[in-house]
Amino acid sequence: MTDTQQWWRHAVGYQIYPQSFFDSNHDGVGDLPGVQAKINYLKDLGVDFVWLASFYPSGHVDSGYDVTDYCGVDPQFGTLADFEELVAALHAAGIKVVIDLALNHTSAQHPWFRAARQSRTNPYHDYYIWQPSDGQTPPNNWQSVFGDSAWQPNPATHEAYLHSFATAQPDLNWENPRVQQEMVQIIQWWADRHVDGFRLDGVTHLKKRADFADVTDPRTGYYQNLAGVAPYLAALRPVLTANHLLTIGEAGGVDMTTAKQWLDPTTGFFDLLLEFDHVHFWEMAEPKLPVAALRANLTKWQVALEGHGWSALFIENHDLPRAVSYYGDAVDYPRRSAQALGMWYMLMKGTPFIYQGQELGLTNADFTRIDQYRDLDSCNYYHRQLATGAPVANTLKQLAAKSRDNARTPIPWTGKAYGGFSTTTPWIDMGPDVAQRNVERESHDPLSVLTFYQQLIRVKQSVPALQTGRYELIDTYDDQLYVYRRTYNGDNWLVMVNMSSQIATTQEFDLTASELILTNLLVDSDSDAQQIQPWEARLYHLRQLE
Ligand code: NOJ
C-alpha cells in the first residue's frame, strides 16, 4: 500500500456525536447541517478526518445504534441530500469522512427483522439467531451487555431471538452469507457517496458459540474472542479495499494475538482497531490513577504492534465518561490535567482520535436526577440497582461517575443560553460550567485546553518522529510519571507527563542540551527540570540521547 493510501497514519481524527454537536434547525437536537455549519471550527482545530457516530434512521433505543435503514439518514439529523452536501463541504475543506456501521445487530423495527419474526420459513428468518423457546425460560444463561437475559421470546415462531445488546437490537446471523452480502452492498452504497472509511461497530461480537451452551461468564463468554470471526471480516475486505476505505474496528475485549492478526497490513482486516484495554483502568482510578499499571498496559500494546499494525489512540468516545473526570483531576486541575492527558496519549505511536468536547476539557455532566439521563444503559442500570434495594443516592453517584451520558452533553459553543448549541431546550441537559468552558471563550485564550489541543495537533502532524518513530517507555518506577521517547532516524523526542495531583521528582534526565517544545505550565510559573508540577506535561526535542 502506498503512503498516500495510508494517509490515516499521518492523520488526526475527530469523533462527532451528531445529536450533540450543533443544532441548525432549532429543535434541540444536533444535525448534519449543524456539522456543516461548524466546518471552520474543525479546520481551525486542524483535524484531518471526522468520524460521524451513527446517524442512520433508527428505533432511537440505543442512540442510533439500532438501525432501521442502512441506506439513509434519520430525519432528526437531516436528509441524504444534507449528508451528501456535508461530505462535499468537508472534502472541500480537506477533511475526510468516516461513518459508523453497526454490523452486529439491527433494530427490531428493521424490515428484515419484522419479516424474520413472522415465521420460520420467512426468507429473512435466517438473518437472525434463534433458539426454540417456551416463552418462559431463556434457552441458556447468556446475558446482554446492557444486563438481563440475551434472549427475547418471539411467540409467533415459538422461539427466542438473541440480542447481545438491547432487546430492540436483535443480533444478525453472520453465518448466513446473505447477511454478509447485504453488508457488502451497504458498504458499496456509501462508498458511492464518497465516504472515506468506516468505523465498524462491535466486531468482536459477530461470532457466537455454536453450541448455545451455558457459559462461565454470561456477559462475554458466548461471543468474546471466539475463533471464527475472520471469515466474516474476510467477506467485507474486498469491498473495503477496492474502494480504498479506511477501516476502523471497534473491538472491545480483543486479545493481542487476534489484534495483531486483524491489523496485519497484508493479511488483516482493519487499518485501526479501537481496543479498550487501557480505558478500564479508570474503573480502578479511585482514589488514585494506577499510573504504573497504565504505563505497563499501554507499553505492552505499543510494543506488540510495532512493525505489525498501527494503533488507534483515544481516551474518550460517546460510550465513556469524560477523561478529565475519570483519569484527570476535574476539581483542582481541570485545565492542566485535560492538557496533560492530551499530550500523554496523542504523542504515542498511532492515529489519535479526539472526541468532541475533549479538546475543550469538558468534564462529566454532573447530573443529579435520573430524569436527566437519556442513555438506555444508564437507565436500565439505575432500575436494576433499585430493584435489588440499592440506595438511590448511591446509584446516582455511580451513574454520575460512569454513565455514557457524561460525554453526550451538547457542545458549548458560547457562554450563552444552551451554550449556543441550540435556541431551544436541548434533548439532554448541558454539562456544567458552560460559562467557563466554551468554544468562544477558549478560542481567545492562549492558555486554554482548546489552544493546547491545536498546538498538539500541529506538532503531531509536523514531526515525523511523533508519527512514525518507535515508542520507548522510560520507566520511572513510580505512580506519577509517564515518560516515553519517540525515535526516528536519529531524531529523538521525549514526552514527560506528571499524571498525578502531587509534585513529582524526575530521575536524573539530562535535558540541558534539549529544547522544550511544548508545555502546559503557565509561562510565568517556575519550571524546574527536576520538579514536575501536578499534571505538568512537557515535550522535549532531544539533542542527543542521554
Ligand atoms: C457500540 C456503540 O459505540 C455503542 O454506543 C452501542 O451501544 C453498542 N455498540 C451497541 O450498538
State the average pLDDT for the chain. 95
DSSP string covering 492-524:
EEEEEEE-SSS-EE------TTSEEEEE-S-TT
Give residue 531's pLDDT: 87
Which residue, 19, 6, 42, 172, is CA-closest to 454? Answer: 42
Catalytic, out of 31, 66, 82, 201:
201
Judging by DSSP bridges, how do beta strands 151-154 and 504-505 pair with one another? unpaired
Stretch 320-325: mean pLDDT, rounded? 96
Report yes or no: 56 and 68 within 8 Å, Cβ to Cβ: yes
Share of the chain above pLDDT 70, in %: 97
Which one of the listed residues 196, 250, 316, 429 is annotated catalytic?
250
pLDDT at position 377 is: 95
CA 203 – CA 145 distance, rounded (Å): 14
Is residue 339 pLDDT above 90, yes or no? Answer: yes
DSSP secondary structure letter of residue 225: T
Which of 17, 65, 164, 380 is the best mutation target for the ligand 1 pocket, counting ligand atoms within 8 Å of the beta carbon and taking the most?
65
**Using CA positions, which residue lies closest to atom 6 of ligand 1?**
65
Provide, rounded to the nearest whole percent, the portion of the chain with pLDDT above 90.
91
Residue in 172, 201, 275, 376 to alter for ligand 1 test, most ligand atoms within 8 A of Cβ:
201
Q: With b meaning 16 or more CB within 10 Å and e meaning fewer, what string describes 448-485?
A: bbbbbbbbbbebbeebebbbebebbbbebebbbbbbbb
| Residue 40 confidence class, pLDDT cut points 50, 70, 90 | very high
Average confidence (pLDDT) over 163-178: 98
100 catalytically annotated? no
Which sign, positive or negative, has the C-alpha torsion 325, 331, 335, 337?
negative
Report which protein residue has its CA nearest ligand 1's atom 7: 62
What is 7-106+177-367+407-455's CATH topology? TIM Barrel (3.20.20)
Residue range 459-485: mean pLDDT, rounded: 96
Q: Report whether 249 contacts 237 (CB < 8 A).
A: no
Alpha carbon nearest to ligand 1 atom 11, residue: 65
Question: What pLDDT is attached to residue 200?
Answer: 98
C-beta of 202 in contact with ligand 1 (< 6 A):
yes
pLDDT of 419 above 80? yes
Residue 543: predicted pLDDT: 80
Q: Which CATH number fits domain 111-162: 2.60.120.10, 3.90.400.10, 3.40.640.10, 3.30.1310.10?
A: 3.90.400.10
pTM (two decimals): 0.97
Nearest atom in ligand 1 to the alpha carbon of residue 53 is 3
CA distance 131 to 432: 47
Residue 546 confidence class, pLDDT cut points 50, 70, 90: very low
Architecture of the domain whose range is 470-542: Sandwich (2.60)
306 is catalytic: no
With contact defined as beta carbons under 8 Å apart, do 74 and 65 qualify? no
Residue 405 near ligand 1, beta carbon < 6 Å:
no
In angstroms, the CA 340 to CA 265 distance is 32
